[in-house]
Structure 1
Amino acid sequence: MASAIVEEKDEPPEEKEPPEAKMGQVADAPPCAWPPAVAERYERLEKLGQGMFGDVYKARDRRRSGQLVAVKRLSGRTDDRFVHTGPLDFARQAMSLAACRGYPHVVRLVATYADASSRGDGDSFVVTKYAGPMNLRKYMMERRAQSQPFLEGEVRRAMRQLLSGAKHVHKAGIVHRDLVPENVIVDQRRRSAKMVYKIGGFGMSESAAAREGRGDDSALLASFGPYRAPEAFLGSRDYDGRVDTWALGCIMAELLVGDGKPFFYAELESEVFVKMQRVVGTKGITEWPGLQRLVGTRERELAQAAVRREQASGGYTSCLGKLFPAEKLSEAGFEVLSGLLEANPERRLTAAAALRKPWFRRQSRFFGGCCVVP
């Protein structure tokens, strides 16, 4: 039997999407059956995508005048497609979304359901307001296929929204730990045609309090390599929201390059770390005080950390400026990019600090003069 754990109060009906808007549909195996409590309330529409923990469908809320939602099923069992999601993983994701509720650049939690299977392997469900038809990865691929590179102004608007979302997530005491293009939802406003970006995919998120109590960061260490911060590569457990701003710096660089690949893409994890050092330099890593504190980590990771520390002493000098010359990115834009891709986490920009940079200020003229509007 499924029961709702969290549900928001009724809201005004959301504008219904026209039938022809089918972007982001993913063809796959026949959908798994939803438990009665979910199936009776939500009319399943097209599939939006799937990750390692389950699949996501667009649906209509029958109780709220057809409001569009996204229903994410978290698999209660391990099979050929999905990794098992236990009650603690489900609760962590639901609590993270609840803590971030109400901010425009984070997907909005509507309800959660747990299917109480007699075998103890029931699925769980996270329902959020429908945020858009595709993720940022698909949007970048479509732009590339249409030979439409991202202009600096577009990148600035995207990064302003993503950093604003990350700022709110961190203010709520949550570290996302998996900010990759697949976990950014993209939609287009019908009236202004401007793109809207929202952070989703909180499957690896965790509060600082929970992490301190559990002391297990295996999820972070297993996160997708090309977006993993240097301190995570080195096996450090001494990290904060700046692992997220590093990932956003990777996304910013990826938008600017526009070749369809992660900025630090490589076939092997070890190659990702080496490529990262060659681009941003090794000075930030070697000067990071936390490097000495890694001696206290578990033996299993000590050897790996030692090898990577030795790699870090190779003395690479940053070539980020050569990859993003003035004709590709303005000086103000480069200040943000280099601040996000700072290898020393203690000097890396937080989301709040990045948003205060001049790149995010717009010029406004009135009374014959000019003022800067943050």
Structure 2
Amino acid sequence: MEIERRRPAAAGSVFHDPDAPPLPRPSPATETAGSASSPPRCDAPAAGTRGPGSAAAAGAATRKRSRVEAFGSTEEYEETCSLGEGGFGAVVKARHRVTGETVAIKRLTDPEDGGSEELLREARFHEACSAHPFIVDFLGVVRDPATAELRLVMECVGGPSIDRFVRDQRRRGRLPLPEATVRAVMWQVLKGAKKMHDQRIVHRDIKPENILVSDDGRAVKICDFGLAMSLSEAPPYEPDAGSLWYMAPELLLEKPDYDERVDTWSLGCVMAHLINGNVLFGDGRNEEGQLREIFDVLGYPDERTWPWFSSTPFAIEVLPLLEVHHRNHLRKLFPKAVLSQRGFEVLNGLLTCNPDKRLTAAAALDHPWFAKVGALELGRTQEVSSALPKTELLKVSTVPFV
């Protein structure tokens, strides 16, 4: 089976400053934008105007008149600095000229190519999941009076991404993270995921770069609904959406009727990354290579563990050419010295190849590992931002609170 290589996306999330030093105590040196651990991101659209993630499906998630329908103006805001740029959009930090409120404003990279509809689709999904402590808050949509281009207004989260936080801990020799910290982060992101899934919305691009740390270090928030879709639409669903290293096996195998458990697989990958700072399945360069890497660790499925798998082109055409095994080696990578038995049960439950047997967000939260969750304390930073305008990505430094 020939599988085409995916285009790598610009590193980092478009909702946070890619140069902000990670918490808890920022390093003196400022890094360049992006992350060496950023996975390739799919070229294909997120089931937008061509399928089940359409604006109509997004609208079904929010029945009442919403802030998406009441456009403000970009002239209400003064842009202060760039927060980052990704494959599909760029975000600036801005201040409301009247209230002084600091926000983040996203514009699509190519607004001429169906941009308004794509942005409104994202806005509707985001609004349906907003007003939650562990999801970046949606504030509205504004229009540029000069170009009629629409932009998304969101809460500005002051801290770095989980990816940057973990890389900072690695540099400081502070990995593996304490299990209590991993548990507190996972409890929060699973709560955010449950909110989305209760609305029948699938994020499809959960990864460390899309989980941001609040400025006080006490909360983490899921961001970037650019690839989200609604389960209110009937399958088949668009399989080519997400970031390769965090994509569930059923997406890689192009299963047409996947569900919200593609997100819980991604959260399992995030949990593994939190524990030891490594991308668990980070060497894949295409679907076939990614599947082989996953199955080398978790064991190749068979009729007993995942009946549907045997009917896939991968199983029919590729599997006979490989030396396969069915043993799960995940525990060897996360021994009891770094992860308790109950913690491993959650990790293993999230990283189950057969989605029918994989933990949902709700089921994971009910696990005894989360019976006692401590407060999250990742530290606190304060931004010192560079001024606009600049054509390239602006660097934003941070200094610790004393």
Query: Structure 1-normalised TM-score?
Result: 0.75
Is 2:81 the partner of 1:46? Answer: yes
Is 2:355 the partner of 1:338? Answer: no
Distance 1:23 1:40, change over 3 A: farther
Partner letter of residue 275 of structure 1? E
- Describe the superposition over 1:55-83 as per-residue Cα deviations: whole angstroms up to 9, x where unpaired: 112222223x32221111112358xxxxx
CA RMSD of aligned residues (A): 3.0
Alignment-derived partner of residue 285 in structure 2: 268
Displacement of 1:292:
5.8
Alignment-derived partner of residue 308 in structure 2: 290
Alignment-derived partner of residue 142 in structure 1: 168
Equivalent runs, 1:1-374 vs 2, <5 Å: 38-63=73-98, 65-77=99-111, 84=113, 86-115=115-144, 123-149=149-175, 150-189=177-216, 194-210=217-233, 212=234, 215-217=236-238, 220-259=239-278, 262-269=279-286, 270-283=288-301, 287-291=305-309, 303=313, 306-307=316-317, 310=320, 314-362=324-372
Distance 1:67 1:207, change over 3 A: same
Contact 1:235 1:305 in 2 (8 A): no
* CA distance in 2 between partners of 1:56 and 1:308 (Å): 42
Displacement of 1:186:
1.1
Displacement of 1:115:
4.7
SS state of the match for residue 221, structure 1? coil
Alignment-derived partner of residue 15 in structure 2: none
Alignment-derived partner of residue 370 in structure 1: none
SS state of the match for residue 329, structure 1? coil
Partner letter of residue 41 of structure 1? E
Counting aligned pairs with the same residue, the percent is 35
Contact 1:282 1:313 in 2 (8 A): no
Contact 2:310 2:316 in 1 (8 A): no
Displacement of 1:308:
5.0
Return 285-294 or 178-187, whichever deviates more.
285-294
Distance 1:134 1:343, change over 3 A: same
| Runs (5+) with no aligned partner, structure 2 | 1-18, 23-29, 34-70, 375-402
Higher relative contact order (CA 8 A, sep 6+): 2
Distance 1:316 1:164, change over 3 A: same
Displacement of 1:37:
6.0
Alignment-derived partner of residue 17 in structure 1: none
Query: Structure 2-normalised TM-score?
Result: 0.70
Partner letter of residue 204 of structure 1? L
SS state of the match for residue 134, structure 1? coil
Alignment-derived partner of residue 16 in structure 2: none
- Describe the superposition over 1:18-45 as per-residue Cα deviations: whole angstroms up to 9, x where unpaired: xxx96589978xxxxxxx9644212212
* CA distance in 1 between partners of 2:100 and 2:21 (Å): 19
Relative to its length, the structure with more strand (as a share) is 1
Contact 2:73 2:144 in 1 (8 A): no
Q: How many residues align?
A: 310
Which structure is larger by alpha-carbon Rg, 1 or 2?
1
* CA distance in 1 between partners of 2:188 and 2:132 (Å): 11
Return 36-45 or 268-277, whichever deviates more.
36-45
* CA distance in 2 between partners of 1:62 and 1:312 (Å): 62
